[in-house]
Amino acid sequence: MTTPLLQSLHNHYPDARIDIVGDRRSSLLFSRCPFAGEIVNKDKSRPGRGVFELLGRLRHKRYDIIVDVRTELLAYLLRANRRYTRLRARPYGAHAVEQMMGVMREIHGDDPIPPARLWTDAADRRQAGELLYPLDAGRWLALAAGAGGRAAKTWPQDRYAALANNLAGDFNGVILLGTESDRAVTAAIGRRLDIPFVDLAGKTTLLQVAAVLERSAFFVGSDSGLGHVAAGVAIPTLTLFSVDQPERVRPWGNQAVWLQGDNNDARNIALADAEAKIRPCL
């Protein structure tokens, strides 16, 4: 969700190189960004020492601009001509993207906020093609049913399968996505599917899954990071929410729809309601 901010900075300063600070996992997502400079990892497992190590890496540079959407202090410990932090933020709205963009409102102004964006390269796309070879060419539906083992966030497996089967006239294949810990869930869905599918749970890096989603026609999943990855490669998404607030953390972009279960429980979302949300988007 920081990529709209990055894109806005690039639009305003197209010749600038932008150093990006993140953790090791998120750094992979920025590694293909064409205007990224140095990508610096902050060790979140060591809050105090990690900050000192981060300062040691960055203090040798003098920046034209520092934009810090996470802390109020870090930017003032580094050398810069201008600093934008949460201390002077003027949010554009309630969504996390609108909150972060408010940090740099002085730069961004009243322009529309860019969509989320992820970047892949030819190697990522080639690997995605190799993973998807069992499916015939056509329109594919991507499903990500995992929710970190939290029951209230997990839409039932039989409803994912029934949704895909009901949409067989619109899609000719299903891609099951998730981490290694989701393999039991994706296997259970696969056994219920009446249309061709490929199970990629635990078999992709974040960039490979982004390249897989680039080739998909629609994404359905629980409130998780994969919905944001799907939005970042510009495909329509349906997110099944439970405890979190869609108005704050839904995938960013104009192709995102969502449902929230009664009593903050995704298991209370009806199959018919999910299908009704998807069909107008098709």
Q: Which pLDDT value is given to residue 48?
A: 64
pLDDT tens figures, 113-143: 999 999 999 999 999 999 999 999 999 999 9
pLDDT surpassing 90 at residue 267: yes
pLDDT surpassing 70 at residue 210: yes
Q: What is the pTM of this model?
A: 0.92
Once rounded to an integer, what is the mean pLDDT over residues 275-280? 96
Comparing C-alpha atoms, which of 83, 120, 79, 85 is closest to residue 99? Answer: 85
Local confidence band at 47 (pLDDT 50, 70, 90 cut-offs): low
Local confidence band at 45 (pLDDT 50, 70, 90 cut-offs): low
Distance CA 271, CA 72 (A): 44
Is the distance from CB of 153 to CB of 147 less than 8 angstroms?
yes
Measured from the Cβ of residue 238, the count of other Cβ atoms closer than 10 Å reads 21
Local confidence band at 220 (pLDDT 50, 70, 90 cut-offs): very high
Local confidence band at 41 (pLDDT 50, 70, 90 cut-offs): confident
Which three-class secondary structure state does DSSP give residue 16?
A: coil
DSSP β-bridge partners for residue 41: 22
Query: Amino acid identity of 164?
Result: A
pLDDT surpassing 70 at residue 108: yes
Domains of the chain: 3-108 (no CATH), 122-281 (3.40.50.2000)
Distance CA 14, CA 21 (A): 19
Is the distance from CB of 210 to CB of 232 less than 8 angstroms?
yes
